[in-house]
Structure 1
Amino acid sequence: MSDTGIQPPARKLDEFEELVFEYTSRMGLGNEEVGLPAEHWDVDARNCNLRFESATRGPPAKVSFLLTITPALSNYMGNLHGGCAATLIDVLSTTILLGVSEPGKFALGGVSRNLKLTYLRPVPTGIEARIVCEIIHVGKRLALLRAEIQKAETGDVCVVGEHEKANTDPEVNQRI
């Protein structure tokens, strides 16, 4: 297992995938120390077997992950909790934005301006899910990302998310 808890695929990653995987590893998912409480809201990447699947620069730039829906991620009905789905989309969609960032333009990941999720069908505990995130638009100040949570086996789309981010990078002085 990796130190981050997020597992890379067995195959060799290309240069862009290595970059996005590195950013994903830094996002804080699964960095909790054994026996100590998390310092912030967190998804236990080890427990849900969160795995980096692939990334492509595009267009559109995309990243995908696989995970198992565990009881810790679920509501009392035995399905992925809506708040957990929002957290997963918030954090994981930001990794592809970091992958295409440049100095002064989302190099720090920005902050969420709007996060909208549409729940289409439940994601039951115990199944494997795929989260696919893509960049719709990146401007100087705002970015729009789209994400889907799917049942990995069937490809059924269960949750669709739109994530709008605002750039918080300091301006880069480009005068010579």
Structure 2
Amino acid sequence: MCSDPASRARAMKAVEAIFERYHLISRSQSFNGFDLHTMNNLRLLDASEKGTSTYEFLIDEQYTNLNGVMHGGAAGVIFDMCTTTALGPLARKGYWDFLGGVTRTLGLSYLRAVPVGTKVRLHSEVIQVGKTMAMIRGKMSSLDGKIVYCTCEHHKVAVPTQPAHLDFKVEWDQLWEKDSDVSGALTAKGGKAKL
């Protein structure tokens, strides 16, 4: 957990903004794709401005195979969404905004089967982020952290967010505008912008 409460609150708000915009867009389109259930059921526990996010999630029967354990493809969807949201605290208008580009590669390592009905903890950490590419690592474990079920390495490529998606405004957009104003003023005075 982040030691600075103001920093943690800001990071949490950045991640929550991704969910807010996602839900506004999905409702407007009557979207019912396979990532919707994931986005509806992730419970955000923590985030940091270093680019981390931590969730709790129930592996219900929608995510399992005939053997009664989590399907490998389901893990891919879950990790794709969770790791992407770790970019939220690092995002700025025009820089990894909204759902942070598109997946280049998503490599998963399955270590233990996850039985149906298991609540898991998902932790994601941005390892590298630049103007065009990012790499995020994820881990799915038991709630107490003693069992690691699977891990992932997610490489993303930045692409512009669809303008129609940014038409759906959330409270976080106002903070982006303030950051842009501060960054521009610092750069004009010879200071360094945040990103």
Scaled to the shorter chain, the TM-score interval is 0.7 to 0.9
The 2-side partners of 1:125 and 1:43 are apart by 19
Q: Which runs of 5+ in 2 are unaligned?
A: 1-5, 162-183, 189-195
TM-superposed CA distance for 1:38, in Å, is 5.2
Q: Which AA in structure 1 matches 2:33?
A: H
**Percent pairwise identity:** 29
Gaps (5+ residues) in structure 1? 1-11
Deviations 1:24-55 (A, max 9, x none): 34345xx67xxxx95322352598x5311110
Matched, 1:20 2:52: no
- Give the match for residue 119 of structure 2: 128
Distance 1:169 1:45, change over 3 A: closer
Give the alignment's TM-score, normalised by structure 1: 0.76
Q: Distance in 2 between matches of 1:161 and 1:122?
A: 15
In structure 2, the CA distance between the partners of 1:46 and 1:168, relative to structure 1 (3 Å rule), is closer
Larger Cα-atom Rg: 2
Q: Deviations over 1:57-114 (max 9, x none)?
A: 13xx210110111111111111111111100111111111133112332124111011
From 42, 49, 60, the equivalent of 2:35 is 42
**Matched length:** 153
TM-score by length of 2: 0.69
Question: C-alpha distance in 1, partners of 2:146/2:19?
Answer: 23
Q: Which amino acid aligns with 1:81?
A: H
What are the Cα deviations for residues 125-169 of structure 1, in whole angstroms up to 9, with x where unaligned?
Answer: 112101111100001110001101111134311111111000113
Contact 2:103 2:157 in 1 (8 A): yes
For 2:86, which of 96, 113, 122 is the aligned residue? Answer: 96
The two structures, once aligned, show a CA RMSD in angstroms of 2.7
